[in-house]
């Protein structure tokens, strides 16, 4: 059975929150076997540790938010979680001095680069895999998300559908490995629609969004002067979000995710459905 992993040395990232616009500093630290990924709010007194597990999801509107029983909260965790899960890092202490993870360039690539630079080390302790043995699906109208059996590792198949011609209908399927994640998914940036900006601001969201960290779409055009990193960068970023949200299951996955117009809310409902249906999965050696 493969062993668990953590990083070999501390790493640091800093930036602003995409929703709060607040500056934030993050330290990524090695953690002991069996720890999983834990966020720690260093600006708060008392119980400030927030495990990155599905049971701690408190909100999913425009980002994934985690909250512990004492009320300590951290938002926009999905890009870091995607980087750690995609690179097969199991145990990590994430010290953060504010309520929202930094958006950086809008992708998981800066987090992945920081983790890679820190190095990865094997630890004592087996690394069981969550193997999907029966399909589980959740839906909301015509939007769906499912996990189903798949014998060849972990695959994600996502379709998105937008009326904006710059996005349209896009579909991509990818078997997720550390190599494919770093190359094909991690650099895909978050995106937003100009028509939604005023409404987001009215709700206190997207205050830190800019062309430096978000792909902006206005009908049939991409506003960013440098354009897209791939023609299908939009669906690639949705895959990135899926990786980060499914990391909250707390173990590597052997199975296939299929999503049609899925988002953080539906992804969270799916992880909850999996954990509430013990006969749909088993913990296996590989």
Do 121 and 37 have their domain in common?
yes
Measured at the CA of 61, the angle between CA 59 and CA 63, to 5 degrees, comes to: 85
Do 102 and 178 have their domain in common?
no
- Phi then psi dihedrals of residue 265, to 5 deg: -65, -45
pLDDT score for 284: 83
Please, which residues have CB within 8 angstroms of residue 84's CB and are 6 or more apart in sequence?
37, 92, 111, 115, 247
pLDDT score for 2: 78
Do 144 and 251 have their domain in common?
yes
Do 227 and 94 have their domain in common?
no
Total number of domains constituting the chain: 2
Please, which residues have CB within 8 angstroms of residue 31's CB and are 6 or more apart in sequence?
6, 37, 38, 91, 92, 93
- The pTM of the whole model exceeds 0.85: yes
Comparing CA positions, the residue from 26, 24, 48 lying closest to residue 94 is 26
pLDDT score for 69: 97
Token duo for residue 137? 């699906």
Neighbour-count burial for 140-174, b at 16+ CB within 10 Å, e otherwise: eeeebbbbbebeeebbbbbbbeeebebbeebebeb
Contact 73, 50 (CB under 8 A): yes
Token duo for residue 191? 């995106």
CATH number reported for the structural domain that contains residue 171 in this entry: 3.30.1700.10
How many helices and strands (H and E) does the chain possess?
A: 6, 20
The last residue of a domain, from among 126, 145, 180: 126
Do 118 and 151 have their domain in common?
no
CATH number reported for the structural domain that contains residue 33 in this entry: 3.30.230.20
pLDDT score for 125: 85
pLDDT score for 274: 98
Q: Tell the burial category of 139 from Cβ atoms under 10 Å away from its Cβ (0-12, 13-18, 19+).
A: middle
The last residue of a domain, from among 126, 148, 165: 126
Do 279 and 157 have their domain in common?
yes
The last residue of a domain, from among 78, 94, 126: 126
Do 245 and 108 have their domain in common?
no
In sequence order, what E strands does the chain have? 3-7, 11-16, 23-30, 37-41, 49-51, 57-59, 65-67, 73-75, 92-96, 120-126, 129-132, 136-140, 143-148, 154-161, 169-175, 191-193, 215-218, 221-222, 253-260, 281-284
Active centre residues (catalytic): 264
Please list the rounded mean pLDDT of every run of 10 residues in the chain (286 residues). 91 97 97 97 96 97 96 98 97 98 98 97 93 98 98 96 97 98 98 92 92 96 97 98 98 97 98 97 84
CB atoms within 10 A of CB 258: 19
Range of the domain at 172: 129-284
Do 265 and 250 have their domain in common?
yes
DSSP SS3 for 110: helix
């Amino acid at each position: 059975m493969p062993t668990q992993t953590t990083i070999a040395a501390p790493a640091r990232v800093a930036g602003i929150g995409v929703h709060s616009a607040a500056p934030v500093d993050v330290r990524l630290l090695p953690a002991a076997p069996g720890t999983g990924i834990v966020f720690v709010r260093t600006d708060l007194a008392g119980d400030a540790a927030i495990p990155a597990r599905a049971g701690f999801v408190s909100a999913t509107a425009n980002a994934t938010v985690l909250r512990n029983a004492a009320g300590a909260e951290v938002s926009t965790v999905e890009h870091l979680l995607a980087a750690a899960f995609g690179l097969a890092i199991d145990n990590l202490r994430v010290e953060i001095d504010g309520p929202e993870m930094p958006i950086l360039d809008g992708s998981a690539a800066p987090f992945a680069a920081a983790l890679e630079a820190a190095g990865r080390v094997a630890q004592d302790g087996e690394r069981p895999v969550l193997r999907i043995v029966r399909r589980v699906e959740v839906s909301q109208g015509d939007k769906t998300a499912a996990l189903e059996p798949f014998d060849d590792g972990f695959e994600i198949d996502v379709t998105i559908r937008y009326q904006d011609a710059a996005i349209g209908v896009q579909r991509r399927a990818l078997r997720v490995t550390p190599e494919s994640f770093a190359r094909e998914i991690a650099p895909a940036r978050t995106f937003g629609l100009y028509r939604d900006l005023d409404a987001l601001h009215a709700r206190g969201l997207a205050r830190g969004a800019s062309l430096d960290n978000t792909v902006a779409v206005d009908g049939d055009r991409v506003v960013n002067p440098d354009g897209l990193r791939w023609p299908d960068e939009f669906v690639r970023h949705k895959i990135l979000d899926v990786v980060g949200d499914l990391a909250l299951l707390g173990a590597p996955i052997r199975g296939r995710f299929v999503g049609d117009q899925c988002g953080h809310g539906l992804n969270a409902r799916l992880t909850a459905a999996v954990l509430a249906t013990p006969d749909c999965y088993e913990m296996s050696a590989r």
